[in-house]
């Protein structure tokens, strides 16, 4: 999965980023706004995609710009594909919820959190837990994330005492987590404890 634009795993053309841009709002968006949100292709390329999608009925050309036709039979599939990052987070959360407690924080960091990687990017996860079977829980995520995404999982598992020690030592990785961690469950304030 391309962590910067997950829809491209299924829709590898410029259509994917344009559709993601359209799902972000119910309000009409101008060509310029859609081009900026898509962050791919040329403005004329985005216009060509929009005109083709209008012809297919998936997009409406309305006063003020273009809007996704949410009543189209394909709209639900487009919306689901545009939310693959969210689906990954929901699956991780469901797995963690199945652990039965003892998890202080689970979150994405690195390119998956910033959404600036590509297909070869690892899915980096931080797990802070004092659960006695933490290693088994980490192994489960390492096994499941590649099945869900096609990407390798790198999971950093820490006990609260280990996190406190890293924080006291001034380890740069803790500041990195504080800056860009996308918390999936738990409380990100855990990162600041023990300073």
CATH number (domain holding residue 125) = 3.30.460.10
Same domain, 114 and 140: yes
Same domain, 95 and 162: yes
Same domain, 52 and 107: no
Same domain, 62 and 107: no
Residue 1 lies in a domain: no
Same domain, 44 and 89: no
* Number of separate domains in the chain: 2
Residue range of the domain that includes 136:
84-192
Residue 162 lies in a domain: yes
Of the candidates 32, 27, 18, the one whose C-alpha atom is nearest the C-alpha of residue 82 is 18
158 HSE (CA, 13 A, CB side):
21
> Two tokens at 25?
């709002």
Same domain, 179 and 89: yes
Domain C-terminal end among 20, 49, 82: 82
Distance CA 8, CA 129 (A): 34
Same domain, 186 and 141: yes
Tens-of-pLDDT digits for all 195 residues of the chain?
Answer: 999 999 999 999 999 999 999 999 999 999 999 999 999 999 999 999 999 999 999 999 999 999 999 999 999 999 999 999 999 999 999 999 888 778 999 999 999 999 998 999 999 999 999 988 899 989 999 999 999 999 999 999 999 999 999 999 999 999 999 989 999 999 888 888 544
Residue 92 phi/psi, 5-degree rounding, is: -65, -45
Burial (CB count <10 Å: 0-12, 13-18, 19+), residue 136: exposed
């Amino acid at each position: 999965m391309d962590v910067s634009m997950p829809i491209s795993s299924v829709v590898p053309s410029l259509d994917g980023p344009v559709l993601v841009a359209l799902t972000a709002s119910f309000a009409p968006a101008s060509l310029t706004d859609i081009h900026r949100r898509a962050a791919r292709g040329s403005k004329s390329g985005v216009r060509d995609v929009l005109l083709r999608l209008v012809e297919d009925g998936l997009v409406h050309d309305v006063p003020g710009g273009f809007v996704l036709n949410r009543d189209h039979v394909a709209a639900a599939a487009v919306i689901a594909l545009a939310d693959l990052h969210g689906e990954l987070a929901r699956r991780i959360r469901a797995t963690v919820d199945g652990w039965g407690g003892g998890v202080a924080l689970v979150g994405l960091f690195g390119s998956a959190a910033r959404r600036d990687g590509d297909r070869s990017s690892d899915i980096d996860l931080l797990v802070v837990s004092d659960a006695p079977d933490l290693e088994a829980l980490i192994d489960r995520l390492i096994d499941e994330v590649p099945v869900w995404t096609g990407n390798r999982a790198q999971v950093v598992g820490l006990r609260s005492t280990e996190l406190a020690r890293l924080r006291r030592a001034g380890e740069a990785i803790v500041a990195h987590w504080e800056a860009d961690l996308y918390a999936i469950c738990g409380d990100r304030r855990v990162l600041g404890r023990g300073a």
